[in-house]
Chains A and B, each alone.
Chain A
Amino acid sequence: MHSRRHFLGTSAAAALAWPLAGAAQARQFDPRPGDWRTFEVTTRVDVLEQRGPTRVWLPVPAVDSGWQRSLENAYASNGRARMTSDAREGARMVYAEFDATEARPFVEVTSRVQTRNRAADGSQRGAGPQDAETLKYWLRPTALIPTDGIVRSTALAATRGARGDEEKARAVYDWIVANTHREPKVRGCGEGDIRTMLETGNLGGKCADLNALFVGLCRSVGVPARDVYGLRLAPSAFGYKELGGNPASLKGAQHCRAEVFLQARGWVAMDPADVAKVMRLETPQWIKTTNHPVVAPVNRALFGGWEGNWVAWNTAHDIALPHSRGPKLGFFMYPTGENAEGRFDSYSPDDFKYQITARELPAVS
């Protein structure tokens, strides 16, 4: 009896201590370039309320690099569907249009892609030297990413004392990690432009695109940078629940990463937004320091690297969707639809329903 009570007592104490001990335990996050992984990603869109002629656009992978190979796409629809791309930025997509007579419009796209991890140690270099015009292109402002005013003044303050492009990129990365997901000054939302984000202090949640802010701050101090818009495909191999997706249901798994061009290393992976996400959401407590054992490995590795459990659609901004009568998109990461009344809300299941799934295929050499 005594030994059982003793056992129960110590077990209870252990059970209470265990969650805390688990949360504080050092974790590992060290994506290394290795074998290619092959995925099939399927998106199906159903237009629920047919109100006249309708048009739908679905992004497909348009990036080919040392860390992604965009392979073939197949699609099916009861409308008229075809592969196309925007004229300027190279974002590829399946476009489908439906007459008013089609009662239940649908389009389904399956894309095959290969991905692999990127490393933080420079062992996997980018595409080599870039010409001046190309680099100037990746310094330009866009509709949602201005590079003057409060964006530039914030970047200058964040990079004070930094020498060279890598130190500047590091300073901006650290600024994003340290300053985002705090309580906003004004309880309101912007349209997604980084100027309004900075003015309101609203740097978390759906209203913010932290990697767009990273890109804008880098561009404003002369470091070429770009967003890479895509979708998480699978859980993280390192057990971080916030850094992966459930392949059975990926409709909310869109994620934007970033890259900077460093003179010595070429295009380098960056994802400070995911560091901020781990700090805010990985454990029940909001972690406020990057020295925390759960955060430190992620903070280290996502400056220069990332896991290959994600597909890149494109790096496009200010996209004019072919055949659209609506305004340009700031970015193209979600299925998009419109009819004569205007654009559907890509976040609303009432306008059109979509689901995205993925499956990993056996290795292909």
Chain B
Amino acid sequence: MLVGHARRTFLHLAAAWGSLQVFSGAAQAAEVVPWPGRQPPAGLDALDLSGRAWKLRALRGRGVLLNFWASWCEPCRAEMPTLQQLADFYGDDRLAVLALNFKEAPATAARFAARTQLRLPVLMDPAGEHARRWQVKVFPTTVLIGADGRPRWRVRGEMDWTSREAGRLVEGLFT
């Protein structure tokens, strides 16, 4: 875990590079791109499978990972366990990890969650409106949002969320 000066140095270097290729597998990479500074967050107003409403501004004070996924997307399914592990490690009082399902029926998403024992909140995006607003065309895509409500990173593609690289990104959400 990076602390203090070392963590700030990491963030400055990453921004200077423009984007960071993080290797999660032999031949493929997740693409990590800093969120454009002037672009405001697109907002979140979605229901989860139990009918609870989730809004981004209500999550201020916590880091947020907004993960766009679908059950037909094999890389999405592959990274889910590590997202669950990440959420369990930090606890939901520090980090909200939200799995926003793209355009599937609630029963399909619920079946996937039950089969995989997923405990993350599963939010629904039945018409793809959130994906459109957040400019998500590749699945999985994860937007990392700081405790101050400002998006920091966009991760396109599958990532190992238990990796050191992922840890560095997440730690930066709490400053």
A residues lining the B interface (CB < 8 Å): 49, 51, 183-191, 193, 195-196, 199-200, 206-207, 327, 339, 341-345, 347-348, 350-351
Q: A residues within 8 A CB of B29?
A: 185-187
Segment 33-88 of B: residues with Cβ below 8 Å from A: 70-76
* From B28, B30, B107, B157, contact of A51 by CB (8 A): B107
Asked if A351 and B75 make an inter-chain contact with CB atoms under 8 angstroms apart, the answer reads no
B140 located at the interface, meaning its Cβ lies under 8 Å from any Cβ of chain A in the complex = yes
B121 located at the interface, meaning its Cβ lies under 8 Å from any Cβ of chain A in the complex = no
Closest to B74 in A: A189
B156 located at the interface, meaning its Cβ lies under 8 Å from any Cβ of chain A in the complex = yes
Q: How far is the CB of A43 from chain B (nearest CB, A)?
A: 21
Asked if B127 and A327 make an inter-chain contact with CB atoms under 8 angstroms apart, the answer reads yes
Kindly state the separation between the CA atoms of A162 and B24 in the bound complex, as whole angstroms. Answer: 40
Closest to A340 in B: B105
- Number of B positions contacting A (CB below 8 A): 32
6 nearest CB pairs, A to B: A187-B28, A342-B105, A186-B157, A188-B157, A183-B27, A188-B138
> Main secondary structure on chain B at its contact with chain A?
loop
Question: With A186-B157, A189-B138, A189-B139 as given contacts, are A341 and B27 in contact (CB-CB < 8 Å)?
Answer: no
Asked if A188 and B27 make an inter-chain contact with CB atoms under 8 angstroms apart, the answer reads no
Asked if B106 and A189 make an inter-chain contact with CB atoms under 8 angstroms apart, the answer reads no
B104 located at the interface, meaning its Cβ lies under 8 Å from any Cβ of chain A in the complex = yes
Q: B residues within 8 A CB of A51?
A: 107
Q: B residues within 8 A CB of A348?
A: 71-72, 108
Asked if B75 and A342 make an inter-chain contact with CB atoms under 8 angstroms apart, the answer reads no
Asked if A188 and B156 make an inter-chain contact with CB atoms under 8 angstroms apart, the answer reads yes
Question: With A341-B107, A342-B104 as given contacts, are A186 and B76 in contact (CB-CB < 8 Å)?
Answer: no
Asked if A341 and B106 make an inter-chain contact with CB atoms under 8 angstroms apart, the answer reads yes
Asked if A188 and B140 make an inter-chain contact with CB atoms under 8 angstroms apart, the answer reads yes
Q: B residues within 8 A CB of A185?
A: 28-29, 31
Kindly state the separation between the CA atoms of A163 and B140 in the bound complex, as whole angstroms. Answer: 41
Q: B residues within 8 A CB of A190?
A: 137-139
Kindly state the separation between the CA atoms of A84 and B76 in the bound complex, as whole angstroms. Answer: 37
> Main secondary structure on chain A at its contact with chain B?
loop
Q: A residues within 8 A CB of B73?
A: 188-189, 207
B residues lining the A interface (CB < 8 Å): 24-25, 27-31, 70-76, 102-108, 111, 126-127, 137-141, 156-158
Q: List 10 A-B contacts (CB under 8 A).
A: A186-B29, A187-B29, A188-B73, A188-B139, A189-B76, A190-B137, A190-B138, A200-B156, A342-B104, A345-B105
Q: A residues within 8 A CB of B111?
A: 350
Kindly state the separation between the CA atoms of A200 and B140 in the bound complex, as whole angstroms. Answer: 12
Closest to B126 in A: A342
Closest to A186 in B: B157
Q: A residues within 8 A CB of B158?
A: 187-188
Asked if B138 and A200 make an inter-chain contact with CB atoms under 8 angstroms apart, the answer reads yes
Q: B residues within 8 A CB of A187?
A: 24-25, 28-30, 75, 157-158
Q: How far is the CB of B39 from chain A (nearest CB, A)?
A: 19
Kindly state the separation between the CA atoms of A156 and B160 in the bound complex, as whole angstroms. Answer: 37
Q: B residues within 8 A CB of A347?
A: 72
Asked if B105 and A344 make an inter-chain contact with CB atoms under 8 angstroms apart, the answer reads yes
Q: B residues within 8 A CB of A49?
A: 107
Asked if A186 and B31 make an inter-chain contact with CB atoms under 8 angstroms apart, the answer reads yes
Q: A residues within 8 A CB of B127?
A: 327
Q: How far is the CB of A344 from chain B (nearest CB, A)?
A: 7
Q: How far is the CB of A339 from chain B (nearest CB, A)?
A: 8
Closest to B24 in A: A187
Q: B residues within 8 A CB of A339?
A: 105
Q: B residues within 8 A CB of A183?
A: 27-28
Q: How far is the CB of A27 from chain B (nearest CB, A)?
A: 30
Kindly state the separation between the CA atoms of A49 and B105 in the bound complex, as whole angstroms. Answer: 13
Asked if B107 and A186 make an inter-chain contact with CB atoms under 8 angstroms apart, the answer reads no
Q: How far is the CB of A184 from chain B (nearest CB, A)?
A: 6
Asked if A351 and B108 make an inter-chain contact with CB atoms under 8 angstroms apart, the answer reads yes
Q: B residues within 8 A CB of A345?
A: 71-72, 104-105, 108
Asked if B72 and A342 make an inter-chain contact with CB atoms under 8 angstroms apart, the answer reads no
Q: A residues within 8 A CB of B28?
A: 183-187
Kindly state the separation between the CA atoms of A70 and B28 in the bound complex, as whole angstroms. Answer: 44
Q: A residues within 8 A CB of B157?
A: 186-188, 200
Kindly state the separation between the CA atoms of A262 and B156 in the bound complex, as whole angstroms. Answer: 40
Q: A residues within 8 A CB of B108?
A: 344-345, 348, 350-351
Kindly state the separation between the CA atoms of A347 and B107 in the bound complex, as whole angstroms. Answer: 14
Q: How far is the CB of B115 from chain A (nearest CB, A)?
A: 9
Kindly state the separation between the CA atoms of A194 and B103 in the bound complex, as whole angstroms. Answer: 19
